[in-house]
Chain A
Amino acid sequence: MSAARKLLIFGGLALAAFGMLYGLHYALFVEHQTLDRMGGSLTTAFVDAAERNLPATQLALNNYTDTKYNYVRQVDAHSHWIGLAMVMIILGAVLERLAFSEGTRAAIALAMAIGSFSFPGAVILQTLTHRSSLSSGLAVGGSALVILAMLAAAVGFAR
């Protein structure tokens, strides 16, 4: 088994296990609290509006959008880590069918692995750094690597 194949299969399995562990940790310690906070801040916004306290309404709406911003990205990171892990394992299983040299296959595997780890990681970073351009840049870079690797794989299968 080539090094590229090992990287994709072991990396994919490790990433799947990591994504699952993250999901388990999130479900146990974060999700319920986040959903309560999200629902609570939207309810507060409407209750404050009913009491005609408009500054408090706006504050509660801001809390709601901030919490939802984080929630969407935390759930997305979990699903993308596992989804990309499955793509890595599958690509590892069919790597020998890519009509490229071993070096090109290794480059595709490396791009896929780096992109699959870093793209969801950067999405999580967005929740910690509050919409910084660094985290967005990393997310764009990671997803571009994954797309390029898949594009190369499609070309390799077509050849």
Chain B
Amino acid sequence: MSARRVLIFGGIALIAGGMLFGDIFAVFVLHQNGGRTGEALLAATRAVTARDSAAVRQDFVRIGDLLEDHGTKLDAHAHMIAAGYLALLLALLQPYVALSCRSRKILAQLFVAGGLLLPLGIFFIHYVGLAYSPFSAIGWASVLADSAGALLIAALIAEVWGLWRYFRGLRPDVAEPALPPDDSWESRTLLAGGTLLILLGFLYGAWYAAFNLYEHEAREKNILTAMLNASTGNGGDATQFVGDYGRLQAEKAVDVAAHSHIIEFGLLAILLTFVQRFVFLNSRWKRFWVKLLLAGSVILPLFVLLEMHLGLIAGGIADIGGLMVLIALLGMLAGILRDTGALDAQEENAR
């Protein structure tokens, strides 16, 4: 298997794995974790009212634990997908990497291994904690994640060095053939759809930064101040402020998730334009996967945003959107596997 194939398979597998993990996280962890964090915060306000400092500390240990559980799972999801995207990007650049065939393949394998170990390490941070760690703040899972991150950086720098050699006029002994231009319907639709999705994501991000970011930060401080005033008997209902705080966190989460997902899906769509020629399926199926992917790419961020108005129904539809993207991705991966099988059979027949 050439370096490009390792990166394409590895990249798509990392993206699909990250998306599947994200869907599982959204369905089984996200809301339950939020509910438990709200309960712990409410218990902390009651402990404040009862002047029980020890109980407050205990409640915050619990809140910290829940936030770490949530944060590490979210980071594992995001890092796995980002590593997958970078692997696909490196696959595109392989014809211009002036390194030996063996070096390119080793680099590709190292990159995919780093992309797998980084989210794995992040995921285990919450469970391993500081057990048997010689460091005061960093546990063994963090060490694994940081080492995998360093591996990714090293592989990326080596690829840049290979590119630099190419532009200095050096050529590899056996080069990956450059991809011929692909002007198929699938390729054009993915390119146009992906560009539009990224643009929409950029515009939404700018709108969020201009109108929501600072307002959310100010509101968080006001709610916390009011919550503590109410808990100390200076007016208001602490339970209501805890509810307000939970709603604010949800508002922030949906804004950020909509912004990041629409851009990520746009990137994915454009990246997939380059692998369409390797998808060994008839055009009816190829078009179906493209339409499914783009439809899911719109449905997920749109219904994530509507979650604040429509509640869990919108959340469920958003999860289905994510599943549509995942299924389309797996459909294309199956086509690429068929292409690989056909190439292997041709080679065998030629021998």
Task: Give the docked Cα–Cα distance between A157 and B198 (Å).
Answer: 13
Task: Say whether A86 contacts B85, CB under 8 Å.
Answer: yes
- Within B193-214, which residues are at the interface with A (CB < 8 Å)? 195-196, 198-199, 202-203, 205-206, 209
Task: Say whether B149 contacts A52, CB under 8 Å.
Answer: no
Task: Say whether B160 contacts A17, CB under 8 Å.
Answer: yes
Contact of A147 among B82, B89, B202 (CB under 8 A): B202
- Given A46-B228, A147-B203, A39-B64 contact (CB < 8 Å): yes
Contact of B263 among A28, A65, A83, A154 (CB under 8 A): A83
Task: Give the docked Cα–Cα distance between A32 and B64 (Å).
Answer: 12
B contact residues, range: 35 or more
Q: Which residues of B contact A21 (CB under 8 A)?
A: 153
Task: Give the docked Cα–Cα distance between A39 and B37 (Å).
Answer: 14
Task: Say whether A158 contacts B192, CB under 8 Å.
Answer: yes
Task: Give the docked Cα–Cα distance between A82 and B48 (Å).
Answer: 42
Stretch at the interface among B16-24, B168-176, B269-277, B291-299: B269-277
- Within B258-281, which residues are at the interface with A (CB < 8 Å)? 260, 263-264, 267, 270-271, 273-274
- A-side interface residues, number (CB < 8 Å): 56
Stretch at the interface among B218-226, B301-309, B313-321, B325-333: B218-226
Task: Say whether B191 contacts A13, CB under 8 Å.
Answer: no
Task: Say whether B145 contacts A27, CB under 8 Å.
Answer: yes
Task: Say whether B228 contacts A90, CB under 8 Å.
Answer: no
- Given A65-B217, A93-B92, A93-B274, A45-B153 contact (CB < 8 Å): no
- Given A65-B217, A157-B191, A24-B51 contact (CB < 8 Å): no
Other A-B contacts than A23-B149, A49-B232, 6 sampled, CB-CB below 8 A, are: A49-B228, A68-B220, A79-B78, A83-B260, A157-B195, A158-B192
Chain B residues packing against A (C-beta within 8 Å): 44-45, 47-48, 50-53, 56-57, 59-60, 63-64, 67, 78, 82, 85-86, 89, 92-93, 96, 137-138, 142, 145-146, 149-150, 152-153, 156-157, 159-160, 163-164, 167, 191-192, 195-196, 198-199, 202-203, 205-206, 209, 217, 220-221, 224-225, 228, 231-232, 260, 263-264, 267, 270-271, 273-274
**Selected A-B contacts with CB under 8 Å, 20 pairs:** A10-B164, A13-B160, A20-B149, A20-B156, A42-B224, A45-B228, A46-B45, A46-B47, A50-B47, A52-B232, A58-B225, A68-B217, A68-B220, A79-B260, A83-B82, A83-B264, A93-B93, A97-B191, A153-B195, A154-B195
Pick the 4 closest A-B CB pairs, nearest first: A32-B137, A43-B60, A49-B228, A50-B48
